[in-house]
């Protein structure tokens, strides 16, 4: 029986990469039906609400969403709808695998997974201005929240993930030398959880040194776990190890729902031009198929993507080519047949 999922095309390049991904899914043998919903700027325009109740109800009912990127205004305007969806469904684990799929990059055979805590840290959005001497914005303050519960469940998720996927090592990256309470609690909890997994090598490292080591010696790492903002920043860095944001998928996992999306944003600079690279969202769809226990179509799509990228004949501009999204998608469809 086909599984119904919630499909949110999103903003900017969202509709372009979503269309491409859906065409590829349809040809892959995946057994899916789609309940299409809106969110973000698209929803603000059509429904006067960036996160309509119908969209939330749909995710609640299907338990699985495939989502294009959503534009979030910087500094002012509505809060991130991505963050709101993650919070609404308590999608606490943001799983971001980074694998070499584009040949000829800076590194070969990269195979890393970043597990980012998705509900706490600085991204709880508890912030305000402090007024002084007539300046209403003399200072601004943000609160970083780390709970024992939140740290424990994300560290355990990382070790369980490592165990389930035959991975050898978990690195916990943190800044407990400076943020002794918040980051200190995260590390303390990590140490405790690690004791339940004696077969998995584990280490903790300072976040800034981790960033440098990832660039110098990425093969030293395997699974990485960290709090929300550090995970946000390092996942873009890690995407850079394998050719950029166009190749980085993400799964947001909770106990009752999951949402799959690209790591990249709505790319307003290239939106509407038909040149976006759909690989990231298509790989996210593969993670979704694996989550839905449909591993065969996922494997077919990965292999088709791999062979198109290997052949290097049809590439979008971010890969140094001059083909558009449609040409690339057609090449993947041909490789699928």
What amino acid positions are annotated as catalytic residues? 123, 175, 208, 232
Task: Pick what 120 binds: Mg ion, ligand NAI, none; C-beta below 5 to 8 Å, kind-dependent.
Answer: none
Which CB atom, from 187 or from 214, has the smaller least distance to Mg ion?
214
Q: Any residues with CB less than 8 A from the CB of 91 and at least 6 apart, and which?
A: 85, 118, 119, 252, 253, 254, 257, 258, 259
CA distances from 262 to 11, 238, 293 (A): 12, 14, 20
Compute the least distance from the CB of residue 81 to ligand NAI, in Å.
Answer: 8
Question: CA–CA separation, 79 vs 124, rounded Å?
Answer: 11
Compute the least distance from the CB of residue 39 to Mg ion, in Å.
Answer: 17
* Choices 40-48, 181-189, 191-199, 226-234; region in contact with Mg ion by CB under 5 A: 226-234
Task: Please name every residue paired with 32 in a beta bridge, in sequence order, or none if there are none.
Answer: 3
Sign, CA torsion 251/290/88/176? negative
For Mg ion, the nearest residue by Cβ is: 232
DSSP element (H, E) containing 228: helix 228-241
Site string for ligand NAI, 70-99 (x = CB under 6 A): xxx---------x-----------------
Task: Pick what 269 binds: ligand NAI, Mg ion, none; C-beta below 5 to 8 Å, kind-dependent.
Answer: ligand NAI
Compute the least distance from the CB of residue 139 to ligand NAI, in Å.
Answer: 25
Which CB atom, from 15 or from 184, has the smaller least distance to ligand NAI?
15
* Choices 91-99, 129-137, 219-227, 273-281; region in contact with ligand NAI by CB under 6 A: 273-281
- Out of 232, 238, 242, 277, the residue judged to bind Mg ion by CB under 5 A: 232
Site string for ligand NAI, 31-70 (x = CB under 6 A): --------------------------------------xx
Using a 10 angstrom Cβ sphere, with 0-12 exposed, 13-18 middle and 19 or more buried, the burial of residue 76 is: exposed
Compute the least distance from the CB of residue 126 to Mg ion, in Å.
Answer: 20
Q: What is the dihedral of CA 17, 19, 21, 24, to 10 degrees?
A: -140
* Choices 137-145, 151-159, 174-182, 266-274; region in contact with ligand NAI by CB under 6 A: 266-274
* Choices 159-167, 209-217, 230-238, 280-288; region in contact with Mg ion by CB under 5 A: 230-238
Angle CA 249–21–18, to nearest 5: 85
- Out of 15, 240, 265, 324, the residue judged to bind ligand NAI by CB under 6 A: 265
Compute the least distance from the CB of residue 62 to ligand NAI, in Å.
Answer: 19
Buried b (16+ CB within 10 A) or exposed e, 24-41: bbebbebebeebebbbbb
Q: Estimate the crossing angle of helix 325-336 against helix 14-28, to 10 degrees.
A: 10
Task: Report the residue count for the chain.
Answer: 337
Question: CA–CA separation, 202 vs 172, rounded Å?
Answer: 8
Which spans of this chain sit near ligand NAI (rule: CB under 6 A)?
13, 17, 69-72, 82, 245-246, 261, 264-270, 276-277, 280, 318
């Amino acid at each position: 029986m086909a599984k119904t999922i919630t499909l949110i095309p999103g903003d900017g390049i969202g509709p372009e990469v979503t269309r491409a991904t859906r065409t590829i899914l349809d040809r892959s043998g995946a057994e899916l039906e789609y309940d299409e919903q809106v969110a973000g700027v698209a929803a603000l325009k059509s429904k006067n609400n960036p996160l309509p109740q119908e969209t939330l109800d749909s995710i609640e009912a299907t338990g699985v969403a495939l989502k294009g990127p959503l534009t979030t205004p910087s500094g002012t305007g509505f809060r991130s709808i991505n963050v709101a969806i993650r919070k609404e469904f308590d999608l606490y684990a943001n799983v971001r695998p980074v694998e070499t799929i584009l040949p000829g990059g800076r590194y070969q055979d990269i195979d890393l997974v970043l597990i980012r805590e998705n509900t706490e840290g600085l991204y709880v959005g508890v912030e305000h201005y402090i007024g002084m001497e007539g300046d209403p914005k003399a200072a601004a303050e943000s609160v970083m929240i780390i709970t024992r519960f939140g740290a424990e469940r994300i560290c355990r998720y990382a070790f369980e993930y490592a165990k389930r996927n035959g991975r050898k090592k978990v690195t916990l990256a943190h800044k407990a030398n400076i943020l002794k309470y918040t980051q200190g609690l995260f590390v303390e909890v990590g140490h405790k959880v690690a004791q339940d997994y004696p077969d998995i090598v584990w280490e903790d490292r300072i976040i800034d040194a981790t960033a440098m080591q990832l660039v110098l010696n990425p093969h030293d790492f395997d699974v990485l776990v960290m709090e929300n903002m550090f995970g946000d920043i390092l996942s873009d860095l890690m995407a850079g190890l394998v050719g950029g944001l166009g190749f980085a998928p993400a799964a947001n996992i909770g106990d009752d729902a999951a949402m799959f999306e690209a790591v990249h944003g709505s790319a307003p600079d290239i939106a509407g031009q038909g040149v976006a690279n759909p690989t990231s969202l298509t790989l996210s769809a593969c993670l979704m198929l694996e989550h839905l226990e449909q591993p065969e179509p996922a494997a077919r799509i990965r292999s088709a993507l791999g062979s198109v990228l290997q052949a290097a004949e049809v590439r979008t501009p971010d890969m140094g080519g001059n083909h558009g999204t449609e040409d690339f998608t057609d090449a993947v469809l041909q490789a699928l047949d």
